[in-house]
Amino acid sequence: MPSSLETAGSKLMGAAKDIKATFKGLTGVFKHLMEEHGKVGALLKRLKSSSEESLRAELYPTIRRELLAHEKGEVLVVYPALARFAETAGIAAEHDREAKELQAAIAAVDALSFSDPSWGPTFERLVMLVEAHVKEEEDQFFPKAQDVIGDDEAKALLPRFEQAKHN
Q: Do residues 33 and 46 touch, judged by C-beta distance below 8 A?
A: no
Q: Do residues 9 and 47 touch, judged by C-beta distance below 8 A?
A: no
Write the pLDDT tens digit of every residue in 4-56: 655 645 555 555 555 555 557 789 999 999 999 999 999 999 999 999 999 99
Sign of CA dihedral 99, 133, 76, 59: positive
Q: Does this model's pTM top 0.85? A: yes
Write the pLDDT tens digit of every residue in 127-166: 999 999 999 999 999 999 999 999 999 999 999 999 999 9
- Residues of the domain holding 53: 4-166
